[in-house]
């Protein structure tokens, strides 16, 4: 059975590749802004709704088992999207100093336009009380991560220096809770048991 990742995320692709999972990529092309505008629930439910939309969009147009995934950052009860520019990303990191934010994730598997499985993840990350000088250096070194990831960091690399406490699954922080996914794929016969 073909496994399809309905995402352009390089992090999600790297996680699956690193685990030796064969898959194809078919970006969903879902207009996320419209879903976000009309959504009134919690951040975790929004992440799940986005993952559902991606999986359903791709599974409705091609065969195979399709994975849709999304992640929403929640801080002080507010959901955050990717920063539109580096200044916004750095301002957020300043505001989060000494505070905990949450990465709420949704993962959906669908086939033939029907949802087969859902999984939600939640990780808590506390930004250490970083100095302004550190953040300015970080701005120069982080590059695209400031605006291509929801938190403005690549936790698997330089971004790890931003934190002094983390609770949750490492892979879920990166955007794809791998262990529950692998178990589901084994149950579906996609991977050997």
Q: Where are the domains of the chain?
A: 3-187
Tell me the pLDDT tens digit for each residue of 86-137: 999 999 999 999 999 999 999 999 999 999 999 999 999 999 999 999 999 9
pLDDT band at 1 (very low <50, low <70, confident <90, very high): confident
Beta bridge mates, 151: none
> Catalytic residue at 87?
no
Tell me the pLDDT tens digit for each residue of 39-80: 888 999 999 999 999 999 999 999 999 999 999 999 999 999
Contacts 24+ apart (CB under 8 A), 57-60: 57/6, 57/28, 57/29, 57/30, 58/4, 58/6, 58/26, 58/28, 58/110, 59/4, 59/6, 59/110, 59/111, 59/112, 59/113, 59/114, 60/112, 60/113
Query: Which residues lie below 8 Å from residue 116, measured CB to CB, with a gap of 6+?
Result: 65, 109, 110, 188
d(CA 23, CA 2): 7
d(CA 20, CA 144): 27
Give the pLDDT confidence score for residue 40 in this predicted structure.
Answer: 85
Tell me the pLDDT tens digit for each residue of 146-155: 999 999 999 9
Query: Which residues lie below 8 Å from residue 148, measured CB to CB, with a gap of 6+?
Result: 82
Catalytic annotation, pick one of 70, 76, 87, 164? 70
The domain at 3-187 falls in which architecture?
A: Alpha-Beta Complex (3.90)
CA distance readout (Å), 63 to 54, 57, 58, 71, 121: 14, 12, 9, 25, 27
Give the pLDDT confidence score for residue 39 in this predicted structure.
Answer: 87
> Hey, what are 116's tokens?
């087969």
d(CA 35, CA 127): 29
Q: What H or E segment, with its residue span, contains residue 184? A: helix 178-187
d(CA 74, CA 46): 11
Select the more confidently predicted residue: 47 or 33: 47
């Amino acid at each position: 059975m073909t496994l399809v990742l309905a995402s352009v995320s390089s992090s999600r692709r790297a996680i699956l590749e690193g685990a030796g999972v064969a898959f194809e990529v078919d970006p969903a092309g879902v207009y996320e802004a419209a879903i976000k505008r009309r959504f009134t629930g919690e951040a975790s439910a929004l992440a799940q709704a986005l993952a559902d939309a991606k999986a359903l969009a791709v599974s409705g147009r091609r065969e195979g088992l399709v994975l849709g995934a999304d992640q929403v950052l929640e801080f002080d009860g507010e959901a955050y999207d990717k920063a539109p520019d580096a200044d916004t990303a750095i301002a957020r990191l300043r505001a989060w100093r000494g505070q905990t934010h949450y990465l709420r994730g949704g993962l959906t598997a669908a086939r033939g336009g029907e949802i087969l499985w859902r999984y939600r993840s939640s990780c808590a990350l506390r930004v250490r009380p970083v100095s302004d000088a550190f953040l300015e250096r970080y701005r120069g070194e982080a590059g695209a991560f400031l605006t291509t990831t929801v938190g403005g960091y690549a936790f698997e690399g330089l971004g790890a220096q931003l934190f002094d406490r983390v609770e949750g699954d490492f892979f879920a922080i990166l955007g794809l809770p791998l262990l529950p996914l692998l178990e589901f794929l084994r149950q579906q016969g996609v991977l050997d048991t």
